[in-house]
Amino acid sequence: MNHESGYGRAHRQAEHIFRNLLPAHGMAVREGQIALCHAMLDALFNKEVLLCEAGVGIGKTLAYLVACVLWQQQRPAALVEPVVISTSSVTLQEAILREYLPFLSQVLLQEHIIQAPICAVVRKGKERFACDLRLQLRKTQVKQRGQGHDAEMRSLYNVSRNLDLDQAEGLSNFDRRLICVPEHCPKSCSARRSCRYRKYLEEANGRRVTIQICNHNFLLADATHRQEKWPRLLKNYQALVIDEAHKLPEAAAQMYGRRFSVQDGENLCRLLEKSHCTHTAQQLRERLTALQAAFCADEIVNAAVAFCPSNVQNAALLSAQAAFRQAAVTRTAKPLPAWPLHRLRESADVLQLFIEQNSNCILYIQYDSDGKPTLCADCRDLPARLDKALWSVRQAAILTSGTLSAGGNFTHTVQRIGLNNPQTFRAESPFDYKRNCILYFPKRTSTPFDEVEWLSQEIEQLVQVCHGHALVLFTSYDQMGRVQQRLQGRVAYPLLTARRNGQLFVQAFKQLSNAVLFAAGPCWEGVDFPGDRVSLLIIIRLPFPVPDPVSDAEKAKYPDLHSYIQAEVIPTMQKKLRQGFGRAIRTETDTCTVAILDPRAAPGGRYHRAALDALPKMNMTQDIKDVEHFIRAVKGAEYFFA
């Protein structure tokens, strides 16, 4: 088909929007952003899959939003379905819905580029929304308790005004589980006609909606529904944008993997008891106790162990599976809803994978902090599953992130996501890293006797030279704790430690004018610290992936260890390193010292070249005095008195 007239008009409008309209509203002209939008328009009009990496500060979100809106305006009349935008984080979804789209809609309406406001909706799973019937029941229960539950009542009344549970302030996880929309909504529900959730679904599938926003798991769940000919979760769409695309393989592993924990079984036992099937529940609970005892590991915590069954474990698996199969067919006084029956059969199926040691799965046991086991069965061929779910439909798709390439190419990402010869594009960050950043590697001639003390001294020295304003990224919570203990009282600034679910400490760090934040895990990406808040970024060790049964299965695909390290381990490390580095410079005026304390990354180290290839070009030093001179040169006087 010939789209030349619409195609040309869309490209001309893109130039006008980014060079004239957005600058009139205070935004800078960025050539990389404009080129990125043109590449995205090409992919949409040509029904191509585009893999595009956008450096920090490019403005990729506005680039793809403008491309999508212009494509929808200029595409052939036959293509009327909406666009889907999939992200990894709720934060980005909210920003798109409440900041980017209202702003863009206002600008384009004023210039008559669009004739009606852009209509978008966030699509989420049922567990993210309130069930009016269950909400009313819970409010009645809490009200009957009398005084002392005022805060809980206020949070429940907040839900009455807001269907989306993510927007309900003060709501406990316990109440959230009790009042969310159930897995299966019976057609006989007395609140069906007035149900706010049903009205939300009707609006989300209405003709006015031109952009659907969801997360990667919801996108993949919708793809599964389409493959299985089940009811669709998303309204039919003709173009797909996957932001934070580096997170897609992780979401796919969760989506296509199978899990079973003793807690899952306990939940099903309670459902059986509520259906007056106490004898079956008791038998099932006994099998669960035996199963947990067979897989208990007192000294293993927060670790994954390959499945190598003993006779005791095999016997426990067979017994538990038989109990689940029996529970799924047991006649109860009160018939079980469809979804608990589905979960019973699903649990039995997961146990079957372990009994037969299914070769299509990577089987392992994940132990939590209390040593409790979860049986995990991961899909061996995620790329093929993703190809079948998303790419084989031959729709236009844009995948974007700040970290999709490794070693200067997209090979690693292309293989992991299951793409076949996609179009690629790289938009380099507009930031002047050579002027605004310095990369520091400490000198270390030998391995120190006390590694923790050596790290503590280096951190203490850097914090002193840079006058605080520091974010210290660890790859190990244990090491972070030991260094934090050693430095307590030795640092002249507030020292905060963000452990798992440490958002409170991250917020406290943002509110302080000058502090030092120790962090790991989630803080390597997705956390924004613009301005002088982070003027010193310390990376303790290169973020190599932790070996586990899944990586061991990957390793078996390669002829030797060196090939595996080059093809999988180093690219994964480089992407994570770039995510961590991205915490340093967030705007054109930010200035920061970046220190990498891992000797393997230093000049002469085994991974020095790999580390440099992952980072933008900038000045490098091993002399702490250069760091001091840099800070004094780029910071204003007020910085040193914060």
- Can you give the CATH number for the domain in which 79 is found? 3.40.50.300
The per-residue pLDDT for range 129-183, each reduced to its tens digit, is 999 999 999 999 988 887 778 888 888 988 888 899 988 888 888 899 899 998 8
What are the two backbone dihedrals, phi and then psi, of residue 365, each rounded to the nearest 5 degrees?
-115, 125
Query: Which pLDDT belongs to residue 1?
Result: 46
What does the alpha-carbon distance between residue 143 and residue 396 come to, in Å, rounded to a whole number? 52
Query: Which pLDDT belongs to residue 238?
Result: 92
Q: Does residue 132 share a domain with residue 58? A: no
Question: Is the pLDDT assigned to residue 639 strictly greater than 70?
Answer: yes
Q: Does residue 229 share a domain with residue 158? A: no
Q: What is the CA radius of gyration of the chain?
A: 27
The per-residue pLDDT for range 407-464, each reduced to its tens digit, is 889 999 999 999 999 999 999 999 999 999 999 999 987 777 899 999 999 999 999 9
Average pLDDT over residues 628-637: 94
Helix/strand/coil percent split, the chain, to 5: 50, 15, 35
Confidence of residue 482 (pLDDT cuts 50, 70, 90): very high
Q: Does residue 535 share a domain with residue 485? A: yes
> Tokens 């293509």 — which residue?
79
List, in sequence order, every residue forming a beta bridge with 399; answer none if it has no partner: 51, 242
Across 42-56, 67-81, 197-211, 564-578, least confident range: 67-81
List, in sequence order, every residue forming a beta bridge with 596; answer none if it has no partner: 539
Q: Does residue 467 share a domain with residue 562? A: yes
Average pLDDT over residues 499-506: 75
CA end-to-end span of the chain, whole Å? 62
Q: Does residue 404 share a domain with residue 352? A: no
Query: Which pLDDT belongs to residue 519?
Result: 94
The per-residue pLDDT for range 584-612, each reduced to its tens digit, is 998 899 999 999 999 999 999 999 999 99
Mean pLDDT of the chain: 92
Query: Which pLDDT belongs to residue 339?
Result: 74
What does the alpha-carbon distance between residue 403 and residue 401 come to, in Å, rounded to a whole number? 5
Across 199-213, 364-378, 468-482, least confident range: 364-378
DSSP 160-198: HH-SBGGG-TT--HHHHHHHBPPSS--TT-TTTTT-HHH
The number of distinct structural domains making up the chain is 4
Query: Which pLDDT belongs to residue 500?
Result: 66
Across 308-312, 608-612, 629-633, least confident range: 308-312
Query: Which pLDDT belongs to residue 502?
Result: 66
> What's 506-562 look like in SS3?
HHHHHHCCCCEEEECHHHHCCCCCCHHHCCEEEECCCCCCCCCHHHHHHHCCCCCHH
Confidence of residue 3 (pLDDT cuts 50, 70, 90): very low
Q: Does residue 540 share a domain with residue 513? A: yes
Are 374 and 366 a contacting pair, CB within 8 Å? yes
DSSP 82-95: -EEEEES-HHHHHH
Q: Domain range holding 375?
A: 258-379
What does the alpha-carbon distance between residue 204 and residue 121 come to, in Å, rounded to a whole number? 6
Q: Does residue 488 share a domain with residue 410? A: no
Q: Does residue 237 share a domain with residue 345? A: no
Q: Does residue 447 share a domain with residue 363? A: no
Q: Does residue 478 share a domain with residue 594? A: yes
The CATH number given to whatever domain includes residue 336 is 1.10.275
Query: Which pLDDT belongs to residue 501?
Result: 63
What does the alpha-carbon distance between residue 581 and residue 431 come to, in Å, rounded to a whole number? 13
Confidence of residue 271 (pLDDT cuts 50, 70, 90): confident
% of the chain exceeding 90 in pLDDT: 73
Q: Does residue 37 share a domain with residue 152? A: no
% of the chain exceeding 70 in pLDDT: 98
Going by their DSSP bridges, the two strands 516-519 and 470-473 should be labelled as parallel
Q: Does residue 517 share a domain with residue 610? A: yes
What does the alpha-carbon distance between residue 223 and residue 227 come to, in Å, rounded to a whole number? 6
The per-residue pLDDT for range 33-79, each reduced to its tens digit, is 999 999 999 999 999 999 999 999 999 999 999 999 999 999 887 67
| Positions of E strands within 147-302 | 211-215, 239-242, 258-261
